[in-house]
Amino acid sequence: MHEDALAKRRVIAILGMHRSGTSCLTGSLQQAGLQLGEVHTWNRYNHRGNRENQEFVDLNDAVLAANGGCWDAPPERCRWTDAQLKRAQELVAGLGSASIVGFKDPRTLLTLDGWREAIPELEFVGAFRAPRAVCSSLAYRSGMPMTDAVQLWLHYNQRLLRSVQKLRFPILDFDVGKQEYLEAIQRLAIRLGLDSKSANEAPFFEESLRTSQEKPAEGALPWRARVLHWRLKRLSV
């Protein structure tokens, strides 16, 4: 694709922690016209797929590993090599010819500085979910203890909050009722210049995406998690 055409495209990254509704948000935006390239459309824990492009995930994993971390053991900082920055640009260039393209991987919250350096025009949307629901899902999917899951929720969502405050992008609450969620998706599609009608004609969202065999997480939540969740809810669209 010609460089001028690439420069005119809008690129949207969907941010949010694992098990927090980012897949549903991404699928909804894809249905409204956001071009994602080749993504996963099914897995054991999400029958509609996590809507992630594996090459983006692989790059994020490589950056995290090079900095001594991984998705569930985040490094304090992520330094990117020139080769990794170039790879990010190549991946975005390969998303297709649509005027609005995007990608989603929860790890992007941990590697965000490099993505912003590689793609300065990058735009963002985000999603969050109540800490107890996320911890229950992580326990069911990965066997993660409650205390570890809460700390991971705090780490990811503190980054999300700081990013929202700095960059001023919209975030959605995955815990609201179905109708409220669909209305938020429609408003977001309009705001992003996508097809809001297509987003809700046959909604990507269904209740099974946030309910499963998970058992409610037990134990008291630390006050920091409760306050952070409240602050995110106040910023949601």
Q: Give me the residue spans of the domains in the chain.
A: 3-235
Q: Report DSSP state, residue 214.
A: P
pLDDT for 98-114, tens place per residue? 999 999 999 999 999 99
- Would you say 50 and 105 are in contact if contact means Cβ atoms under 8 Å apart? no
Rounded CA-CA distance 25/176 in Å is 13
Residue 1 reports pLDDT greater than 50: no
For residue 185, what are its two tokens? Answer: 């998706």
Residue 121 dihedral angles phi and psi, to the nearest 5°: -85, 5
pLDDT for 69-81, tens place per residue? 999 999 999 999 9
Using a 10 angstrom Cβ sphere, with 0-12 exposed, 13-18 middle and 19 or more buried, the burial of residue 62 is middle
Give the model's confidence band at 50: pLDDT under 50 very low, under 70 low, under 90 confident, else very high. Answer: confident
Q: Which CATH number fits domain 3-235: 3.40.50.620, 3.20.20.70, 2.60.40.420, 3.40.50.300?
A: 3.40.50.300
207 HSE (CA, 13 A, CB side): 3
Neighbouring residues of 220: CB distance < 8 A, sequence distance ≥ 6: none
Give the DSSP H or E segment for 188. helix 178-192
Q: Report DSSP state, residue 45.
A: T
Rounded CA-CA distance 60/78 in Å is 10
14 beta partners: 104, 125
Predicted structure pTM score: 0.91
Say what the pLDDT of residue 208 is.
Answer: 75
Q: C-alpha distances in angstroms, 185 versus 107, 172, 192?
A: 23, 8, 10
pLDDT for 143-160, tens place per residue? 899 999 999 999 999 999
Say what the pLDDT of residue 5 is.
Answer: 45
Rounded CA-CA distance 21/23 in Å is 5
| Segments of the chain assigned E as strands | 10-15, 100-104, 123-128, 171-173
Q: Report DSSP state, residue 35.
A: B
Rounded CA-CA distance 148/209 in Å is 23
Residue 211 reports pLDDT greater than 90: no
